[in-house]
Each structure stands twice: as structure tokens, then as C-alpha cells.
């Protein structure tokens, strides 16, 4: 009887409860108005390029202060063109398809990472980052899929280069993944990633007459000033302590390059290096929202593909999961948890080392 009760509890905790939670997430996201969804930004950008318009806001149109509803399109134009197939559809239909694809992307990423334990799937779909990423219609699930593809096909130069180019073209903060290709001597993959990424960005910008091209760095800087202090990044934490915008942003560059230099010198295998560059990406971005942390699935899966306390750790992010930090020093609590998960994933010995085929590294 006890065994039956334990089995029933396990099925509920890791199966029924996450399904109910994700079902509620999809229901709320479908019912939410367009301005409560990141997908509205992407869909609108797809409509813009479909009709030959620039998807970017002008600098003069930006507000003096940002609200939670402020979500302009500030991604490289590749993302806008990727949305064209969905932009051909009515918004409601396109959104429903996108949300289902987001769920499928997370599940497929777990499979690519070698996860077969159904309980791990349940834990991931029950954690705050996955809930937020799907519910907001964010790009996070597809970034997770791209990162998983880069790892799975790391020994295939074109596939790895294409995956890294895709995720960096979608979200620039993942640029340290290119460094990982170089660090692990995957020079052909790094060349493919650079060529394909730069080529796709320039081609997509050329298709809209390079609208917003010259102003793009300024646009990113202005966006950082407006919404960066309300996120959960190191930049937001520094701003909450009274550090100026320019000084806080520059410190991130120092942090990123110093961290990558340490990886180059001290990290001795490709798995740990991969975990490290994901952590650097999250800590060095000036804008960090909780749904970005769905990427923590990758470091955890590279340690163990079966349920363990490390898999449960991201569920703790529900403790501090609002999408808008309001610039308080409590942003540091989320960063500490992220650092703890990344450190555990880096230094623990993988449970399935032979299956991961991790290569030791020497030199740079």
C-alpha cells in the first residue's frame, strides 16, 4: 500500500501537477491581450518586414521611463523575418501555434540532451522560467533548443555553426557560445557560425533597406537604460546600489572577458567550458529576465539525465519570479541561485560520462 501511495504521489507531483500548471499557463497566455505578450512584438515585427516596413522604433519614440508593457522590437532583423510565416496568419491563430511550438521546443531540447527520465520533464515544465517563457510567448524555448542542438551536434561543424549562429542572431547575449567553439578548437564550426550569423544579419537588414542599422547600438544602449534596472542582471543589481548606467554596463564587459579568460586558462574539458559560457552569457547580459533562465536546463542535463536535487533547484526560482524586479537589491537573490546551479553543474562529475563523450582540453 505504501509503495502504491508513493507511486501515486510521484505521478501527481511530476506528471499531473506540471501538466495542469502548463495547461493553465497556455490558457492564460491564449486569453491574454496582445500587449501582455512578447509574441505580439515578434508577430508585429514579422508583419512589418512582410510589408516592407522597419520593425524598429525610432529613438525619438522611446519613452522617458519604461513600464511593464514596454516591449519594442530590438532584436537583429533575422528574428523578424523568422516570424513571417506566422505573421501571415491571424494573431490568435499564430499565437496558439507559437505557444505549442514553445512547449515542443523545450521537450525536444531535453531529448537532444539525452534526458529520458519523465520526472525531469515534469520538473522543467513546473519551474518558473519555463512557465514564464511559454506564458509570455518569449524566444527562450527556442534558444534552449538551439543551445541543445549546438551541444548535441558539436562535432559536426556545419550543424554546430548553424545552431550557434541562430541563437546569437536571435539574442546577442549568447555570443560567448562562439568563444566556446574557438576554445574547443572547433575552428570550422566557429567560422561557419561567424559567416552564417553575420551574413544572415546583413542580408535581413539589407532586405529592409538597412532601416535602423546605424542607430541600432544607440537603440540597445537606450533600451538598457530604460528596462535594464528592472530586470535581474548584474547590471540591475549594480544600478540598485546607485552605480551609474555607463559604469554598470562597462563592468559587464570586464566581467565577461575576464570570465572567458579564466575559462580559457583553467577549464579543462568541453562540458565544463560549455556550462561556463552559458553562465557567462547570463551574468554578462545587461538585461536578464527570469524566463532567460530556462537555459539552466542545459548545464543540469550535462551533469545528470536522471532526477536529482539539481533538477529541482530551478523550481526555487518561484520564490523570486516576478517579471519586473522594480530595481530592488533583491535581484541579487536570483543571481546567487543561478550561480549556485551553474557552479554545481560545472564541478560535479557527470553521471553518464561515457555517453557525453567529453573531451579534455589543453591550451587554447
pLDDT for res 364:
42
Give dist(CA 218, CA 60) in Å, integer: 12
Q: Which three cell numbers stand for residue 119?
A: 520526472
Q: Of the candidates 227, 219, 174, which has an alpha carbon nearest to the alpha carbon of residue 197? A: 174
For residue 291, tell me if it sits in a domain: yes
Question: How large is the average pLDDT for residues 120-130?
Answer: 92
- Whole-angstrom CA distances from 167 to 33, 74, 76, 122, 237 are 28, 15, 11, 25, 26
Q: Indicate whether 134 belongs to any domain.
A: yes
Spatial separation of the C-alpha atoms in residues 20 and 132, rounded to whole Å: 15
pLDDT at 31: 73
Whether 363 is in a domain gets the answer: no
Confidence of residue 99 (pLDDT cuts 50, 70, 90): very high
Average confidence score pLDDT of the chain: 87
What is the C-alpha separation between 158 and 137, in angstroms, rounded? Answer: 29
Q: What is the pLDDT of residues 49-81, one digit of tens each?
A: 999 899 999 888 888 777 766 788 999 999 999
Looking at per-residue pLDDT, the higher value among 361 and 103 belongs to 103
Task: Count up the domains in the chain and report the number.
Answer: 1
* DSSP helix/strand/coil, 360: strand
**DSSP code of residue 55:** -
Domain membership flag for residue 364: no
Domain that residue 135 falls in: 2-59+73-356
Label residue 289 exposed, middle or buried (CB < 10 Å: 0-12, 13-18, 19+): buried
> Does residue 361 form part of some domain?
no
Q: Is residue 103 assigned to a domain?
A: yes
Do 242 and 329 contact (CB within 8 A), yes or no?
A: no
Indicate whether 338 belongs to any domain: yes
Q: What pLDDT score was predicted for residue 345?
A: 87
Can you give the pLDDT at residue 177? 97
Give tens-digit pLDDT for 274-290.
Answer: 999 999 999 999 999 88
CA 137 to chain centre: 13
- For 238-296, write each residue's pLDDT tens digit: 988 889 989 999 999 999 999 999 999 988 889 999 999 999 999 999 999 888 999 99
Cell of 1: 500500500
What would you report as the CA-atom Rg of the chain, rounded to the nearest whole angstrom? Answer: 20
Give me the mean pLDDT over the 93-99 stretch: 93
Q: Would you state the pLDDT for residue 290?
A: 87
From residue 25, alpha-carbon distances to 129, 153, 179, 186, 313 in Å are: 12, 32, 36, 40, 21
In a domain, 253, yes or no: yes
Amino acid at each position: 500500500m505504501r509503495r502504491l501511495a508513493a507511486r501515486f504521489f510521484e505521478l501527481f507531483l511530476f506528471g499531473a501537477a506540471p501538466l495542469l500548471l502548463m495547461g493553465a499557463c497556455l490558457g492564460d497566455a491564449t486569453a491574454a491581450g496582445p500587449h501582455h505578450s512578447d509574441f505580439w512584438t515578434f508577430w508585429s515585427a514579422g508583419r512589418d518586414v512582410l510589408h516592407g516596413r522597419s520593425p524598429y522604433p525610432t529613438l525619438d519614440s522611446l519613452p522617458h521611463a519604461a513600464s511593464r508593457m514596454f516591449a519594442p522590437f530590438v532584436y537583429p532583423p533575422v528574428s523578424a523575418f523568422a516570424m513571417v510565416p506566422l505573421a501571415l496568419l491571424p494573431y490568435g491563430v499564430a499565437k496558439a501555434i507559437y505557444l505549442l511550438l514553445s512547449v515542443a521546443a523545450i521537450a525536444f531540447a531535453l531529448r537532444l540532451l539525452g534526458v529520458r527520465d519523465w520526472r525531469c520533464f515534469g520538473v522543467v515544465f513546473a519551474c518558473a522560467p519555463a512557465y514564464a517563457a511559454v506564458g509570455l510567448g518569449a524566444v527562450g524555448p527556442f534558444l534552449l533548443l538551439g543551445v541543445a542542438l549546438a551541444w548535441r551536434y558539436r562535432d559536426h561543424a556545419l550543424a554546430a555553426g548553424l545552431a550557434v549562429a541562430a541563437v546569437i542572431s536571435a539574442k546577442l547575449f549568447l555570443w560567448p557560445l562562439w568563444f566556446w567553439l574557438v576554445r574547443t578548437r572547433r575552428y570550422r564550426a566557429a567560422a561557419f557560425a561567424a559567416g552564417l550569423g553575420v551574413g544572415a544579419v546583413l542580408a535581413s537588414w539589407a532586405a529592409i533597406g538597412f532601416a535602423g542599422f546605424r542607430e541600432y547600438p544607440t537603440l540597445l544602449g537606450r533600451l538598457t537604460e530604460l528596462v535594464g534596472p528592472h530586470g535581474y542582471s548584474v547590471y540591475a543589481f549594480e544600478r540598485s546600489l546607485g552605480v551609474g548606467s555607463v559604469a554598470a554596463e562597462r563592468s559587464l564587459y570586464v566581467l565577461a572577458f575576464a570570465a572567458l579568460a579564466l575559462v580559457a586558462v583553467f577549464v579543462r574539458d568541453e562540458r565544463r567550458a560549455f556550462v561556463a559560457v552559458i553562465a557567462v552569457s547570463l551574468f554578462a547580459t545587461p538585461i536578464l529576465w527570469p524566463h532567460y533562465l530556462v537555459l539552466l536546463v542545459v548545464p543540469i542535463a550535462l551533469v545528470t539525465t536522471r532526477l536529482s536535487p539539481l533538477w529541482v533547484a530551478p523550481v526555487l526560482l518561484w520564490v523570486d519570479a516576478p517579471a519586473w524586479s522594480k530595481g530592488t537589491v533583491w535581484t541579487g537573490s536570483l543571481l546567487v541561485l543561478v550561480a549556485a546551479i551553474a557552479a554545481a553543474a560545472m564541478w560535479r562529475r557527470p553521471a553518464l560520462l561515457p555517453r557525453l563523450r567529453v573531451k579534455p582540453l589543453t591550451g587554447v
